[in-house]
Homo-oligomer: A and B are copies of this chain.
Amino acid sequence: MNVVTAIGEARDRIRAARAEGKRIGFVPTMGYLHRGHLELVEISKRHSEYQVMSIFVNRIQFNDPKDFSSYPKDLQRDLDLARAAGVDLVFTPDEGEMYRNNLTTVDVSLLTDHLCGASRPGHFKGVFTVVSKLFNIIQPDVSIFGQKDIQQAVSIEKMVFDLNFPVKMIIAPTVREQDGLAMSSRNKHLDAEKRRNSVCIYRSLKRAEELLVSGETDSGRIRSAMEKTVLEGSPDRIDYISIVDYASLQPVERVSGKSVIAVAVFFGSTRLIDNMIIEFEGGGIKCVY
């Protein structure tokens, strides 16, 4: 496995792989890898022959400087995990390599109005900008994003379409802990009690699924039931429980087409998110977590 910090060297190595006829798979990360990231690499391998992972904690997407400075880091462990997962190239630039007096931003309107966009001003613009940069540096054939960050995944999918990036995007289902908590680098901030209680988020999605399967389609009633379930975990604050249309990410009053139920909850100062995608198939309902 090659570990490179310079854009030029990353490009050279990828060019060499492409010249051997290999397709380039790309998993962007902010490091502190967990099984969720490694699953993205597994999926990428099914679609490509050369695996690139970026590890870069992208300051410009943190609306809260404290969240940035406390973001967990362990590069040596990350590299060991990436190597074991079969990654060919880790691109881990420093901030000076990525940003020099940056004036350019990429934004996707409407899709970022609600959900995390409402409580994290500037966050998505920072995400779109760094992903555009990484796409132009890596020039992947395929790139894999986790469903856990559903608003990110759907709006990057739209960005790829709108700007004609020559990249195939795949959104991979969320990988979970034994009890159902979505894997996240931020879970390490939870103490034992909060960690136990945090399963209420997953349970609230399960509760929504029960209601949907039983024929409930009213967003208000589904959200009320979810809120009750979340509150059983005594969170410090519920940021949102939202039901939105998949393509537009705008709230819906009634679940009728492809939709997303998304939840964001604070345990202490740690903000946890989770979601499920609802699809209607052959008269039935399919929920993807």
Q: Which A residues are closer than 8 A to B by beta carbons?
A: 7, 11, 100, 102-111, 128-129, 132-133, 136-137, 139, 158-159, 161-166
Report B-chain residues with C-beta under 8 Å of the C-beta of A162: 102-104, 133
Return the contact of A111 from the options B100, B103, B136 (Cβ within 8 A): B103
Cβ-defined contact, A158 with B110, below 8 A: no
A133 to B159, CA, bound (A): 10
Cβ-defined contact, B106 with A158, below 8 A: no
Cβ-defined contact, B166 with A11, below 8 A: yes
Report B-chain residues with C-beta under 8 Å of the C-beta of A128: 104
Cβ-defined contact, A164 with B106, below 8 A: no
Report B-chain residues with C-beta under 8 Å of the C-beta of A158: 103-104
Cβ-defined contact, B105 with A107, below 8 A: yes
Return the contact of A107 from the options B100, B107, B159 (Cβ within 8 A): B107
Q: How many copies of this chain does the complex contain? A: 2
Report B-chain residues with C-beta under 8 Å of the C-beta of A137: 164
A105 to B124, CA, bound (A): 13
Q: A7-B164, A164-B7 are in contact. Are A104 and B103 (CB under 8 A)?
A: no
- Nearest CB to that of A138 among chain B residues? B164
- Nearest CB to that of A106 among chain B residues? B106
Report B-chain residues with C-beta under 8 Å of the C-beta of A11: 166
- Nearest CB to that of A156 among chain B residues? B104
A125 → B minimal CB distance (Å): 9
Return the contact of A164 from the options B108, B136, B161, B165 (Cβ within 8 A): B136
Q: A137-B164, A166-B136 are in contact. Are A159 and B108 (CB under 8 A)?
A: no
Cβ-defined contact, A133 with B164, below 8 A: yes
Cβ-defined contact, A163 with B103, below 8 A: no
- Nearest CB to that of A11 among chain B residues? B166
Report B-chain residues with C-beta under 8 Å of the C-beta of A136: 163-166
A110 to B104, CA, bound (A): 10
A105 to B139, CA, bound (A): 20
- Nearest CB to that of A162 among chain B residues? B104
Report B-chain residues with C-beta under 8 Å of the C-beta of A102: 162
